[in-house]
Chain A
Amino acid sequence: MLFSLRELVQWLGFATFELFLHLGALLVFSVLVALRADLFAPGMSWWLVFVPLFAADGLSTYFTAIVSIRLYQENEKRLAVLRLLWVLTVLSLKLVCEVLLCQKLVEQEQARDLWFGLIVSPLFILLQLLMIRACRVN
């Protein structure tokens, strides 16, 4: 659309397979949210609803670790370390945001100190990092 797949892979630093994985997780997550909201599964815990997103983060970390080890063995040490650092930073920021949001949804009124500005703050940091990376890729 606005970006080709090649540009997206370069910019985001994720492999096509990882993007596929995260899209799949988002699809399952949205189905679970809709099921819970429409009272088809009212007893379902919010932590259970967020499981697809956590699983995608875990699988993506595993995939990145394997790719980085392979790159390291092929003497691409700098590339391996840079890729590992970047993906781990992005995934940890995403994970923090997901955990905080889940916590807020579970506790509702009790978690008044946990305002949405705080929950979304990892995403603001991620946006800045993505802008810096875009300048480098360009």
Chain B
Amino acid sequence: MSLAQRVLLTWIFSLIFLIMLVLKLDSKIHWNWFLIFLPVWTFDTILILMLVVKMASRCKPGYDPRDGQQTLRKKVWYLLAILLKLGFCVTLCARLERLTDIWLSVVCIPLWSLLVGAMVELGYNVFHYRRD
């Protein structure tokens, strides 16, 4: 996929999600919170599918595993990141729908793990660039 296509994909899902969120918050629609988050579920599913397909391509005959050890580690981290984001969204929706009464601090744990991980990766990139 070209950069424009990937941007368009992200842009459309963000726009739909924002519109649905605003309509719900302004009480114009009275849908279930899980339904409001539908663009998020769809986008994450597409991302997971793309990652799994890329990871599965390593199983092709003739692939040298030494080639992409670093890349595989990164892909596993990306998969974990999407799952953490999904975990956060599911627990948040469950709390908003009053299906559960857990603390918001517990709901936020996957989000915090994701943010710390992203900051470590970004920090490593800043440090790595300066060392070069």
- Interface residues of B toward A: which range? 35 or more
Complex interface: chain A residues within 8 A of B9 (CB):
2
Bound complex: CA of A116 vs CA of B23, how far in Å? Answer: 8
Q: B18 → chain A, closest Cβ, in Å?
A: 6
- A93 contacts the other chain (Cβ, under 8 Å)? no
- A109 contacts the other chain (Cβ, under 8 Å)? no
Query: With A16-B122, A17-B126, A134-B3 in contact, do A38 and B104 touch (Cβ < 8 Å)?
Result: yes
- Interface residues of A toward B: which range? 35 or more
8 Å CB contacts to A: which residues of B76-132?
A: 78, 81-82, 103-105, 107-108, 111-112, 115-116, 118-119, 122-123, 125-126, 129
Complex interface: chain A residues within 8 A of B129 (CB):
16
A27 and B119 within 8 A (CB): yes
- A127 contacts the other chain (Cβ, under 8 Å)? yes
A1 and B108 within 8 A (CB): no
- B67 contacts the other chain (Cβ, under 8 Å)? no
Complex interface: chain B residues within 8 A of A26 (CB):
115
B115 and A23 within 8 A (CB): yes
A27 and B18 within 8 A (CB): no
8 Å CB contacts to B: which residues of A1-60?
A: 1-3, 5, 7, 11, 16-17, 19-20, 23-24, 26-27, 30-31, 33-35, 37-38, 40
Residue from A7, A20, A34 within 8 A of B126 (CB atoms): A20
- B31 contacts the other chain (Cβ, under 8 Å)? no
Query: With A117-B26, A127-B15 in contact, do A20 and B123 touch (Cβ < 8 Å)?
Result: yes
Query: With A1-B78, A38-B103, A138-B3 in contact, do A16 and B125 touch (Cβ < 8 Å)?
Result: yes
Q: A45 → chain B, closest Cβ, in Å?
A: 18
B119 and A24 within 8 A (CB): yes
8 Å CB contacts to A: which residues of B13-35?
A: 14-15, 18, 21-22, 25-26
Complex interface: chain A residues within 8 A of B116 (CB):
27
Residue from B8, B11, B105, B119 within 8 A of A35 (CB atoms): B105
Q: A32 → chain B, closest Cβ, in Å?
A: 11
Complex interface: chain A residues within 8 A of B122 (CB):
5, 16, 19-20, 23
Complex interface: chain B residues within 8 A of A131 (CB):
7-8, 11
- B56 contacts the other chain (Cβ, under 8 Å)? no
B-side residues, CB < 8 A to A, are 2-4, 6-11, 14-15, 18, 21-22, 25-26, 47, 50-51, 78, 81-82, 103-105, 107-108, 111-112, 115-116, 118-119, 122-123, 125-126, 129
